[in-house]
A and B are shown apart, each in its own frame.
Chain A
């Protein structure tokens, strides 16, 4: 009798332990690209690729072409910082052969063990190889908005090409060629942007945003971050009164002409700050591509639109 009870308890404990998700399920499933093995595909089946954000999906779509089946989690116009996943997302993850993500803490919504429970696919951080920047307010948080520097997206493109080539060797040449071609376009974009932004005079190269989004952009194109309405890497943080006051002081002191806000977030607080200081409120497309009918359906269009808006916003 005692024996059986002991065994039963032991089995129960083991079962429970097995069912307990480990605290870092996401970290466990993240793989370096070099570890990738070819996916097992039935004849004619394409590899199932899940991209977390529209920016990631854009690169995947271009490099993958018709050889992949692509699903995106955070749809156009939505803010990945505050995204809440759905059961459909869980299913997409379960059926994926690979999941491509931005990394650097952007995908908070993936840190959900229940969401990941059904998936065995590897998670690939596209930003590996990019030098992480910290956000401006000195809290030490890593800024995830790497895609606003076109050279980072070039690194993504190369990474995606490599990853897909390893997963699907039959189409490896196609992936690598498309990756190279896109990188050339990105190079050209980078040059155009640099020229355009060169028009902004030195004393106006100051950026104020709704939250810390333009760190990589500023580093690439020679701007200074004066501050943010919500000085945090995520739009889901709360503004504090003193920080708002300090920001308004900075705006006035530096003569900043515009407050740039991500079109995907609630503009009310930033609007107040702009009104109170006499600055303009300028929406940019920062967190997501728009739908096909919008002004930023592709990454190239997104960057072009933002660059133009910034130049105009900082003009007298």
Chain B
């Protein structure tokens, strides 16, 4: 067997690496698709806030011995709808209000976790991911949720397009704007939850945004922007995972570094193209 091939296949001969790769790939494909909307609509702060708001949900599920995804999903969906509602009010300073909830929820999560005196490792896993610990059940859940998210984006593609490009038109055309907006926020919450195991709460924003931001510099059509972003995400997931194996570094951050490197390269070579 050629040394290159061995080098590629060796990590995959271990089930935990294969599972980790499966989870990372799923997240690497699904996150940037949603991330495209986040980038185009300037929702990066919202996305980061949502990731941090989900922390207490994850912690409570963890402390109760429930699967982390369940706690995260419940809190994530509630948080998405709540933050969405705050954003729609015109009488509050939106970013300050979201910031308050963001910081408060995050502190709540850490406080809850610290109540059980030895929390450093588990907090590290929640914050930065634990790809090596993906079980078979975790992987199936990740793929299932990821597929459901992609199917929803596909089904409501044109409605999300109108909503993102021209919200006033969406109202004029009598689209169910409230439903669609909430649906999009919920999808973002779901992908964040799915990504926590791979890259953790602190880095999930990168999974959402970095590949989409790079794709934005490369293409002027939405479908190809999503496809490019997904390709960058998937490629970075593979590179990051292999990098963590051969370089002995944590896998979540390795993936994010790979994505950031792609962005830097794209930015250096294409960023100077004028976009109106």
Contact = CB atoms under 8 A, between A and B. Distances in A.
Direct contact between the two chains A and B in their complex (CB within 8 A): yes
Given A238-B250, A244-B16, A276-B14, A269 B133 contact: yes
A276 B118 contact: no
* Chain B interface, >50% SS class: helix
Interface string B1-30: 000000000010011110010000000000
A84 B248 contact: no
Interface string B104-121: 000000000010011111
Contact of A84 (B120, B246, B251): B120
B245 interface: yes
Contact of B121 (A74, A82, A272): A82
A82 B16 contact: no
Contacts of A240: 244, 248-249
B114 A239 contact: no
Contact of B120 (A86, A236, A242, A276): A236
A240 B243 CA distance: 11
**Contact-size category for B:** 20 to 34
Contacts of A272: 16, 132-133, 135
A84 B114 contact: yes
Contact of A79 (B118, B135, B241, B250): B118
Contact of B132 (A74, A81, A269): A269
A243 B14 CA distance: 12
A235 interface: yes
Interface centre among A79, A239, A241, A266 (most CB of B within 10 A): A241
Contact of A266 (B15, B114, B122, B132): B122
B124 interface: yes
B121 A244 contact: no
A242 B248 contact: yes
A273 interface: yes
A84 B244 contact: no
A265 B121 CA distance: 9
Contact of B119 (A81, A84, A241): A84
Interface in B117-157: 117-122, 124, 130, 132-133, 135
Contact of A241 (B121, B122, B135, B244): B244
A238 B252 CA distance: 13
Interface in B153-172: none
A272 B197 CA distance: 15
Interface in A64-89: 74-75, 78-79, 81-84, 86
Contact of A235 (B16, B121, B130, B251): B121
Contacts of B122: 266
Contacts of A35: none
Nearest to A75: B117
A245 interface: yes
Given A239-B132, A240-B248, A245 B11 contact: yes
Nearest to A243: B248
Interface in B36-82: none
A53 to B, nearest CB: 12
Contacts of B121: 82, 235-236, 265-266
Interface centre among B118, B133, B135, B248 (most CB of A within 10 A): B118
A81 B121 CA distance: 10
B245 A241 contact: yes
A131 interface: no
Nearest to B118: A82
A45 interface: no
B253 to A, nearest CB: 11
B244 to A, nearest CB: 6
A209 to B, nearest CB: 16
A79 B119 CA distance: 10
A168 interface: no
Contact of B133 (A235, A242, A265, A268): A268
A273 B16 contact: yes
Given A78-B117, A276-B16, A241 B133 contact: no
B21 to A, nearest CB: 11
A82 B118 CA distance: 5
Interface in A263-288: 264-266, 268-269, 271-273, 276
Contacts of B16: 241, 244, 248, 272-273, 276
Contacts of B118: 78-79, 81-84, 264
Contacts of A236: 120-121
A268 to B, nearest CB: 5
A239 B14 CA distance: 15
A81 B120 CA distance: 10
Contacts of A83: 117-118
Nearest to A248: B14
Interface in A247-274: 248, 264-266, 268-269, 271-273
5 contacts: A236-B120, A239-B132, A244-B132, A264-B118, A269-B133
Interface of B: 11, 14-17, 20, 114, 117-122, 124, 130, 132-133, 135, 241, 244-246, 248-251
Interface of A: 74-75, 78-79, 81-84, 86, 235-236, 238-245, 248, 264-266, 268-269, 271-273, 276
Given A75-B117, A244-B132, A272-B133, 17 more contacts: A82-B120, A83-B118, A84-B117, A235-B121, A236-B121, A240-B248, A240-B249, A241-B132, A241-B251, A245-B11, A245-B14, A268-B133, A268-B135, A269-B133, A272-B132, A272-B135, A276-B14
